[in-house]
Every structure is written in structure tokens, then in C-alpha cells.
């Protein structure tokens, strides 16, 4: 394969049509190496042999290939954006309710929460994201719409919606999440009704967006908290640094260490098959392919990101 050019001193992305073609071939070659998220019926029937990639620079330079404009269930990628909202609403006091430590337990671990006396290890495990949802519910009369409007603003797309079927499937089968929420409630770390909090949590996970839309929505994390499209300060530069640090240590669940070793970018995955990655001061990247590894992270996407890091020289380490 011929590789793309390295990142230039001006921060240009440096991808070419040839390198994008090579990336698409790499993705296709690795179809069949993972499994679908078959515990969610609405995701079980997705065509596994799909792939999309979008790379957007802070200067607006955009490259994409494959199914980059196909919308998919963003699942836990939503946790990054709901956390951003919680920080905007609550500020530093939010961290009294959630720690910032990596966890080597499963993302839906109950024992992890009990060990920490009701304080989730980080905001990206399910218990942590449920606390984030509670913080939003406490401060919004229409929390589902509030989150959707935020995603629409960041992506520049007014027709972003949550898939009711996916949300319903997750609510019907989300026994572990109900257990986590009631345990959090027992520890005094949930202020609202469990049903209201989980309604928002499931709705957020069921949001559908494309690689291009997600990469556009995340550009503020590559630009010191400022959305370069509008010039709006989404969060402070310090909060941006902190979020990127959390993404690096915890964004890929208990596969975060291996991901940092192989790829070395702040990133958040979701069992819908997406990975959203950030290159500070340069670009955001979203890759999608539905087949997952044992940690719930997409297989093809990791190969693609590893290729980009090696050929563009964009690892943060």
C-alpha cells in the first residue's frame, strides 16, 4: 500500500485519494474479524460488512471514504457529548460524583461500583454515564430534546434524532443498567427518578449520526474547546485538555491501554461500531464498521486508525 503524506507544519490533513482507496481496501480485508452487538436486537441485524471514515481538519479540510455519510447508532460515543453538557451545566463540582480513573472491569460492572461505594470509576463506564444523565435531567425540563439540540448544533445538522426502536430495545433488555441505576440511587448518587434518568441514557445511546457528522461535532476537542465552524466556545481549554485525557485513559473501556499502545489518540467507542478520535490542534476522525472485538470496540476501525497514525504521524505520544 502507498501511504498518505505526513502531517505538514501547517496542520494540513495530508490524505490523498490513493491513500483513501488503500484504507478502504484495508477495511474490506478485515471484514469478518469481529462480531455484532447481538444483545441489542436492533443492532443484531445490521449488515456487518460496512465501513465509513471521515477526517476533518480544524481548518475545515475534509476527507472521507466508504459509508461515511451512513447514519448508525452512536451508542456510547454519546457519553462524550453528554459529559460535555454536564460540565457546562455543573462545572468542576460534577467530579464530586464521578472519578477519573481507568477501569479494568467490564463497562457495565456492578462490583466496580460497589468497590467504590457508589462513585463510578469514570464517566464513560455505564454507571458514570448514568450519573451524567442524572445531572442533565436535574437541569433541563426536556432533557432528551436538550441533548439532541446540542448534537444538532455541533454537527450542523438539524435532523439528528434518536432511534425509538433502539432505545426501546435497550430499555427492555437493560437489566444491568437498571441495577446500576438503583445501586447508584441507594448510594445517594442519583437525584431523580431512575426511570427518568435511564430514559435519557437510552435515548442518548440510540442517537443516529454518520461519521462525517460525528467528526464535525467533535472538532471543538481538537481546537481548545472552540468549535472552529462557528467560533463558539463549547468548553474551556482546560476542560478540553481534561476530556482528551479521559478519552485517552478510559474512552475504549478496558481495552483503553491496548488502544493507547497501538494508536495513541484520545478516542471514544460505541457498540454500534463507531470510534471517534481526536488529534489535538489538528483534526477529528470518525470511523465506523459494525463488527466488534471482545471489549466492544470495532475491529476494522482500529486497523484503520493504526494505519493513519503510522502514516500521518499523528499519535499524541
Taking only the tens of pLDDT, the chain with its 317 residues reads 444 444 333 345 668 877 898 999 999 999 999 999 988 898 998 999 999 999 999 999 999 999 999 999 999 999 999 999 999 999 999 999 999 999 888 898 999 999 999 999 999 999 999 999 999 999 999 999 999 999 999 999 999 999 999 999 999 999 999 999 999 999 999 999 999 999 999 999 999 999 999 999 999 999 999 999 999 999 999 999 999 999 999 999 999 999 999 999 999 999 999 999 999 999 999 999 999 999 989 999 999 999 999 999 999 99
Name the phi and psi angles at 142, rounded to 5: -140, 70
Identify whether 39 is a catalytic site residue. no
Identify whether 271 is a catalytic site residue. yes
Identify whether 307 is a catalytic site residue. no
Identify whether 256 is a catalytic site residue. no
User: What does the DSSP assignment read for 147-214?
Assistant: HHHHHHHHHT-TT-EE-HHHHHHHHHH-HHHHHHHHHHHHTT---S-HHHHHHHHHHHHTEEE-HHHH
Measured CA distances, 162 to 82, 167, 202 (Å): 14, 8, 9
Q: One of 271, 287, 304, 309 is an active-site residue; which one?
A: 271
Q: One of 253, 256, 268, 284 is an active-site residue; which one?
A: 253
Identify whether 201 is a catalytic site residue. yes
Q: One of 76, 82, 103, 162 is an active-site residue; which one?
A: 76
Residues with Cβ within 8 Å of residue 189, at least 6 apart in sequence: 97, 118, 119, 131, 134
pLDDT of 19: 86
Name the phi and psi angles at 53, rounded to 5: -145, 135
What residues does each domain of the chain span? 17-312
Angle at 181 between CA 178 and CA 187, to 5 degrees: 140
pLDDT of 106: 87
pLDDT of 12: 56
Grid coordinates standing for 31?
471484514
Place domain 17-312 in its CATH homologous superfamily: DD-peptidase/beta-lactamase superfamily (3.40.710.10)
Amino acid at each position: 500500500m502507498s501511504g498518505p503524506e505526513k502531517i505538514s507544519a501547517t496542520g494540513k490533513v495530508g490524505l490523498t485519494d490513493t491513500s483513501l482507496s488503500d484504507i478502504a481496501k484495508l477495511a474490506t480485508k478485515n471484514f469478518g474479524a469481529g462480531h455484532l452487538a447481538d444483545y441489542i436486537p436492533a443492532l443484531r441485524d445490521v449488515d456487518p460488512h460496512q465501513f465509513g471514515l471521515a477526517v476533518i481538519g480544524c481548518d475545515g479540510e475534509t476527507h472521507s471514504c466508504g459509508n461515511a455519510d451512513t447514519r448508525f447508532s452512536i451508542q456510547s460515543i454519546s457519553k462524550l457529548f453528554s459529559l460535555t453538557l454536564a460540565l457546562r451545566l455543573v462545572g468542576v463540582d460534577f467530579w464530586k460524583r464521578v472519578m477519573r480513573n481507568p477501569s479494568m472491569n467490564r463497562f457495565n460492572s456492578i462490583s466496580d461500583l460497589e468497590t467504590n461505594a457508589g462513585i463510578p470509576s469514570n464517566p464513560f463506564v455505564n454507571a458514570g454515564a448514568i450519573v451524567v444523565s442524572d445531572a442533565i435531567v436535574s437541569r433541563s425540563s426536556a432533557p432528551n430534546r436538550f441533548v439532541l439540540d446540542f448534537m444538532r448544533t455541533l454537527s450542523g445538522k438539524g435532523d439528528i434524532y434518536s432511534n425509538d426502536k433502539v432505545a426501546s430495545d435497550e430499555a427492555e433488555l437493560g437489566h444491568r443498567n437498571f441495577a446500576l441505576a438503583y445501586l447508584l440511587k441507594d448510594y445517594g448518587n442519583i437525584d431523580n427518578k431512575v426511570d427518568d434518568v435511564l430514559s435519557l441514557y437510552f435515548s442518548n445511546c440510540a442517537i443516529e449520526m454518520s461519521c462525517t457528522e460525528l467528526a464535525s461535532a467533535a472538532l471543538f476537542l481538537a481546537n481548545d474547546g472552540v468549535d472552529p465552524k462557528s467560533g463558539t466556545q463549547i468548553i474551556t481549554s482546560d476542560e478540553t485538555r481534561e476530556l482528551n485525557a479521559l478519552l485517552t485513559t478510559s474512552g475504549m473501556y478496558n481495552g483503553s491501554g491496548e488502544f493507547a499502545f497501538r494508536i495513541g489518540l484520545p478516542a471514544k467507542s460505541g457498540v454500534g461500531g463507531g470510534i471517534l478520535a481526536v488529534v489535538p490542534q489538528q483534526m477529528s476522525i470518525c470511523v465506523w464498521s459494525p463488527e466488534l472485538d471482545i471489549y466492544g470496540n470495532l475491529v476494522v476501525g482500529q486497523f484503520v486508525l493504526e494505519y493513519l497514525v503510522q502514516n500521518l504521524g499523528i499519535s499524541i505520544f
